[in-house]
Structure 1
Amino acid sequence: MLEAKEFDLATTLVKDMMVDAEKVAHVQNSNPLEHALLVLTKTGYNAVPVLDFHGIFEGVISKSNIIEAMFGLERIELERLDSQTVMDVMNDQAPRLHINDTLEEALHELIDYNFVCVVDDDEVMQGIITRRQLLKQYRNEYYKSRQKSS
């Protein structure tokens, strides 16, 4: 994590606070929905990044995307879990941040999302930044500054 004197929303870069891609659960765009649902269920997450075969960030898939895809006219159609892929139902408009964006830019995106993917110049996912991380860091800095003024 960052040292107290280093934390500044306007100058600290997203790459200094992100969770590295190797530690982030994700699915590939060609995976069947069943696989994505298993990943989401086993990890306990509500959403995960979607990557192509080369690690390019393409969007986010959530449990609600999958559940909506299973609704038929008269019943829940479980067979759709095998017949549809992640690409068919993912949110391809999910925001992304660049590794050299600031935490201030991340804060604007994290208002509406629990996490935002961080990409390099080639759109390859480098990691994620989470709302929780940013809030915890901000809280820690707040209490440190209060202790110094006491």
Structure 2
Amino acid sequence: MINQAIDQMMIANRKHFMIPGEVVASVAEDNKLRHAFLVLTKVRYAKIPVLDNADHFKGLLSLSMITETMLGMDDVSLTSLDTMCVKDVMQTDVHTVEDPYDLENVLHLLVDDAFLPVVQADGTFTGIVTRREVMKGVNYIGHNLDDFYDVTPKTTGSIISR
């Protein structure tokens, strides 16, 4: 369980952690891989969300998922870019969090994921919570905790790391 003081400071900044879906690069599950390849190349993100026509979150897509379809034993073929769709290669086993999200759960999941898709109860994509934005919040706490709380050590011993 997160320390109550830290939890309160993190919750106060919760709105800054999520990047709204309207400004997040995404592709549709029915887009051809050629379109997705161009989008991923232009935005320079490792992975982007995949949505259906009703803006429901369906999975994630990376450049490596696309290039894997292009690689043969002896050469590279661009045919798959025009014949396959995003839904044919996207990752579907993705951690998501529901809006409003539980901060402690987000912190646990961001250990392994650079960002988490945020969805509404019906699966509609709302945005992403990034490790970068959460780390900015942790940085804020590290620099401002004593502006809000009197912090004194309980013992003079060292802090044990896990």
Do they fold alike, i.e. is TM over 0.5? yes
* 8 A contact 1:18–1:128 mirrored in 2: yes
* 8 A contact 1:30–1:85 mirrored in 2: yes
In structure 1, the residue matched to 2:134 is 134
Instruction: Give 1 or 2 for the bigger CA radius of gyration.
Output: 2
Structure 1 vs Structure 2: percent identity of aligned residues?
35
* 8 A contact 2:98–2:120 mirrored in 1: yes
Q: In structure 1, how many angstroms separate the alpha carbons of the residues matched to 2:12 and 2:94?
A: 23
In structure 1, the residue matched to 2:98 is 98
Unaligned residue ranges in structure 2 (runs of 5+): 1-5, 152-162
* 8 A contact 1:55–1:124 mirrored in 2: yes
How many residue pairs get matched?
145
* 8 A contact 2:29–2:86 mirrored in 1: yes
Letter in 1 for 2:45: Y
In structure 2, the residue matched to 1:124 is 124
Compute the RMSD of aligned alpha carbons: 2.3
- Give the TM-score normalised by the residue count of structure 1: 0.87
- Give the TM-score normalised by the residue count of structure 2: 0.81
Q: In structure 2, how many angstroms separate the alpha carbons of the residues matched to 1:146 and 1:16?
A: 21
CA 146–70 in structure 1, closer or farther in 2 if over 3 Å, else same: farther
* 8 A contact 1:13–1:99 mirrored in 2: no
C-alpha deviation, 1:73, in angstroms: 2.5
Q: In structure 2, how many angstroms separate the alpha carbons of the residues matched to 1:17 and 1:132?
A: 9
